[in-house]
Structure 1
Amino acid sequence: MNYIFSSVAGDSLTLSSTAAILACALLTGFFISCIYIFTHKESGYVPSFAITLIMLPAIIATIILLVGSNVARAFSLAGAFSLVRFRSAPGDPKDIAYVFFTVAVGLASGMGFLTYSLLFAFVLCLAMVILEKSHFGIPKSEAMTLKIAIPEDLNYEGLFDKILKEYTDSWKIRRIRTTEFGTLFELVYRIQMKQNISQKAFLDSIRCRNGNMNVTLVLNEYEDRIYE
Structure 2
Amino acid sequence: MVNQLFTSIFEITGSINLVSFLICIGAALLLGYISASIHTVGNTYSKGFVVSLALLPAAVCVVIMMVNGNVGTGVAVAGAFSLVRFRSLPGTAREISSIFLTMAIGLATGMGYIGYAVLFVIVIAPVQIIYSKSTFGEKDMDSLQRTVRITVPESLNYTDAFDEAFDEFTTSHQLLAVKTSNMGSMYRLTYSVLLKQSQDEKNLVDALRVRNGNLEISSSQREFVAHEL
TM bracket (short chain): 0.7 to 0.9
Seen in structure 2, the aligned counterparts of structure 1 residues 132 and 110 have a Cα distance that, compared at 3 Å, is same
Q: Which moved more, 1:53-62 or 1:197-206?
A: 197-206
Which whole-Å deviations, capped at 9, do the CAs of 1:168-192 have from their partners, x for residues lacking one?
A: 3321123446555654344331223
Check conservation: 1:144, 1:193, Cα contact below 8 A. yes
Distance in 1 between residues matched to 2:15 and 2:88, nearest whole Å: 38
Seen in structure 2, the aligned counterparts of structure 1 residues 144 and 38 have a Cα distance that, compared at 3 Å, is same
Q: Which moved more, 1:215-224 or 1:69-78?
A: 69-78
Does 2:30 correspond to 1:12? no
Seen in structure 2, the aligned counterparts of structure 1 residues 171 and 132 have a Cα distance that, compared at 3 Å, is same
Distance in 1 between residues matched to 2:109 and 2:73, nearest whole Å: 19
Structure 1 unaligned segments of length 5 or more: list them: none
Does 2:132 correspond to 1:132? yes
Identity of aligned residues (%): 35
The equivalent of 1:153 in structure 2 is 155
Seen in structure 2, the aligned counterparts of structure 1 residues 77 and 127 have a Cα distance that, compared at 3 Å, is closer
Distance in 2 between residues matched to 1:214 and 1:80, nearest whole Å: 49
Seen in structure 2, the aligned counterparts of structure 1 residues 72 and 177 have a Cα distance that, compared at 3 Å, is closer
SS of residue matched to 1:208: helix
The equivalent of 2:205 in structure 1 is 203
Distance in 1 between residues matched to 2:170 and 2:149, nearest whole Å: 15
Distance in 2 between residues matched to 1:57 and 1:66, nearest whole Å: 14
Seen in structure 2, the aligned counterparts of structure 1 residues 80 and 91 have a Cα distance that, compared at 3 Å, is closer
Pairing of 1:23-42 with structure 2 (within 5 A): 23-40=26-43
Q: Which moved more, 1:187-196 or 1:92-101?
A: 187-196
Amino acid at match of 1:124: I
Structure 2 unaligned segments of length 5 or more: list them: none
Distance in 1 between residues matched to 2:101 and 2:147, nearest whole Å: 32
| TM-score normalised by structure 2 residue count | 0.78
Q: What is the root-mean-square deviation of aligned Cα atoms in Å?
A: 3.4
Distance in 2 between residues matched to 1:117 and 1:215, nearest whole Å: 52
Q: Which moved more, 1:176-185 or 1:109-118?
A: 176-185
Total equivalences in the alignment = 221
The equivalent of 1:119 in structure 2 is 119
Q: Which moved more, 1:196-205 or 1:137-146?
A: 196-205
Pairing of 1:91-106 with structure 2 (within 5 A): 91-106=91-106
Distance in 1 between residues matched to 2:216 and 2:225, nearest whole Å: 16
Distance in 2 between residues matched to 1:219 and 1:203, nearest whole Å: 14
Which whole-Å deviations, capped at 9, do the CAs of 1:120-153 have from their partners, x for residues lacking one?
A: 1222222211112212112332443322222233
Q: Which moved more, 1:170-179 or 1:62-71?
A: 170-179
Q: Offset at 1:24?
A: 1.6
Which whole-Å deviations, capped at 9, do the CAs of 1:41-99 have from their partners, x for residues lacking one?
A: xxx321222222211111111111112123468869988998xx734334432011101
Amino acid at match of 1:6: T
